[in-house]
A = this chain, B = another copy of it.
């Protein structure tokens, strides 16, 4: 297993700065916290597009950019940048000559390191690596006891803590749910503080307004130091494209802030196939590529070398109800195809997640989720948002679904290791020792290897039927609820320098006091 295990840190202790006997005692009493290193795949990518198909799609995407173009809305500065770069600008429409966008994209790095405040949690995004981050965006939460309700800041903090404690999640994410009990213009401050205080994993910045992106950078400067942030990517933020072919000023302003600060963005078409893109896979891939080419090129016009990820969030649609659907074959095919297109651009790739349409963490949610997670792993995704906790088409963040999904992410880690072909793994001595008709449970090879031979679940049930039945015949939803409760009871916050903590709190308080609450 590709993992690093670290001690849980003492409650309010000062471990990193030395500390006294009390801090050391606190360390010893804290539960051991295991955190896996990000996935470095030792398996091939699944490539569904032929090279001929790739060439057709790439050609068509350039045709889209040149003939149809893209809109940069309410953003004269962006239009000027495009004009200067050689595009044809008519009103807000930007037509990009064949080849120009791809050429501009070439200055974006093929991989970058996002630094965490705990350096053991740094992630290298790109290459054959895979970084897993929790659900992003739901206005509702669901839990086993209280059902579905609007999310609050307390729920948000709970997801940050669960993510921090989850061995297989490498990244704390961003808007793990919308804290609807905090003003729209202030909640980003509380969210950023929660990621910085209750976790030591890397996190995302706010994108919902230019000033909020600026706040994100400033708070990161408090946490990491100003010079450090200027030289290191300490945030990866989500910039959605308003598909089809539209770049709105809110998202572009956030992109501009981050790119100028040398911080990373995911440039991601957000597509419900059949509504925001053609009903065909090839047509959707063409549009995705055109949009990403334009968006990534723009990031490089803002600042050459700014780190950026090729994103593709694509679902299909139920043509009867208009509902977005997840875990579908069309979504898997688009994910695989988009991965190939991203690798042709030498860009890190974002797609997939524990996506589902189900209202409950039931069989439907798991079929849909598992279809997507498996496609995601084999499709070469480098950054996977929504890897745990997503429910009901992203309207709901579910605590129980979170721990079920997080457990499955362990499966992906193990698959990604590939097949060990060492002499020990060949196990010829074991086969000789046991022979025809024997069994392997007690043989020397099994004794030496069984501890790490198999992935182990933290939540699924393997008990004999009778025992399971005597214990109440609990389904996964119920078992997951028990795990959520146990994890929360064991949570211990990672250490944070009290001076930094105070400075972050001051910043949040000052910014909150500077403007009235807004709820829209």
Name A residues whose Cβ lies closer than 8 Å to a Cβ of B.
Answer: 43-44, 46-50, 52-53, 56-57, 60, 63-64, 67-71, 93, 148, 242, 244-246, 273-287, 316-323, 325, 327-330, 332-333, 337, 357-371, 374-375, 378, 392, 395, 401, 404, 408, 411-415, 418-422, 424-428, 430-432, 434-441, 445-446, 449-451, 453-457, 460-465, 468-469, 473, 475-477, 479-480
Contact = CB atoms under 8 A, between A and B. Distances in A.
Given A244-B437, A358-B460, A450-B279, A411 B327 contact: yes
A57 B436 CA distance: 18
Contacts of A68: 431-432, 435-436
**Copies of the protein in its oligomer:** 2
A364 B476 contact: yes
Given A426-B283, A462-B323, A462-B325, A431 B64 contact: yes
A357 B460 contact: yes
A415 to B, nearest CB: 4
A333 B460 contact: no
Contact of A317 (B60, B279, B413, B454): B454
Given A274-B440, A319-B454, A329-B414, 5 more contacts: A46-B46, A63-B428, A68-B431, A68-B436, A360-B476
Nearest to A94: B436
Contacts of A280: 420, 424-427, 445, 449, 453
Contacts of A321: 462-464
Q: Which 6 residue pairs of A and B lie closest in terms of their CB atoms, listed nearest first?
A: A283-B427, A366-B366, A370-B370, A329-B414, A278-B427, A279-B453
Nearest to A370: B370
Contacts of A401: 363
